[in-house]
Structure 1
Amino acid sequence: MWNLNTGKYIGKPWWGHHSGVTDIEVTHRADGTPVFVTGTTDSRVRIWNLDTRKPVGKPLNTCFNCTVYGLAIAERGDGQRVVISAVARNFPLDDGSPPATLRIWNLEPGRPLGEPLTPEGDAYHVAVAATTDGDGTPVMVSGGDDRNVVVRGLDTGLPLGGPFTGHTGTISALAVGTREDGTPVVVSGSLDATIRMWSLA
């Protein structure tokens, strides 16, 4: 952790994972406690207290021998704050299990909500983001090796309309925002060397 005013790190490094950290999201719990969430190449997602520097609960195990490629924080329609993990296997298995999954976890007890969601296609890389669409519906947006951007209802996990198509390479990054006119958008970055913006209205 670094002080933005001085450019110096605060305290000692944080330890708690056994392999590389791939993503970090900062948020707060329902009681206002500041926390951050980490994902790694050891298949785990972990929640940390930003003030005490200690882990909150046990690690969330996403799947066997996977990499957490992306995390997103969101609030569902019922007010639950959740973390979404986008996970892909490090190598294919012969047991019929999907190569990539999206999973929604309750941020408070750290428990999964519903069953894992499977992106379309043989995705071994997946990105995720969360926002609300033009109607105010909480949504999550994912993309990966299938080159499509898919919008799902955060409460149901079901796709909302068809995918956004146009990329010719793996989608490696997603971000969400709002244009000056109030239009909610998702921005996608791809290994095809392009960046695209899509309207969620």
Structure 2
Amino acid sequence: MPETAYTARTNNAFVLTETIRVAELMHLGATQEDIRQRVLVEDLFQLRSQVSRERALQTVLKRLQQVPEKYIQLIATGNPDTRRLTILFLILRENRLLRELIAEVLLDKIKAFDYLLTSADLRTFFEGKREQSSKVAAWSDSTYKKAASNTILVLINAGLLQPMSPRRNYQIRVVSVPSPLRQQLLADGLGHYLTLMLDI
């Protein structure tokens, strides 16, 4: 697993619909210029502000750049679970904080048959990262809070966490990765991502 640097992801965490729409265009052979035209001028994403359109498009294009066509095809043509979990895989590739939260907290809890993720668990994890990494420690409080909440939001949008009450408690959900995505990851020597997607 590549040790990418910690990056503060503070917006556009999952952008499911937008990622699917761009993947569909790419799969049909649209150029980046075509896609920009559709999003920024024709408002493909249905976002009122130009700034929001730009930001969402930048997130999606960055995510889908240098991705093998087979994964774009899974997002463009797969069923809802395949699409959602393929996007999760692409986010996991670039988001070290998310990988570590799953590996160090969620997987440990599942091994202990404990499927409740509490706000205290999350606080311990994120504060621990601040102590271990000068990069995370250098983030402003607002950046740190946004990065933490966005990391959780990715897991909720991917279906790996279910919000519960009291607020900021979550149920951990083990999932089954759909066969087309599973086979592609195994064929590419990326089977370790299946564990990070809680397919265990």
Point out which structure has higher relative CO (alpha carbons under 8 A, 6+ apart). 2
Q: TM-score, normalised by structure 2?
A: 0.23
- Kindly indicate which of the two structures has a greater share of residues assigned to strand: 1
Q: TM-score, normalised by structure 1?
A: 0.23
- Kindly indicate which of the two structures has a greater share of residues assigned to helix: 2
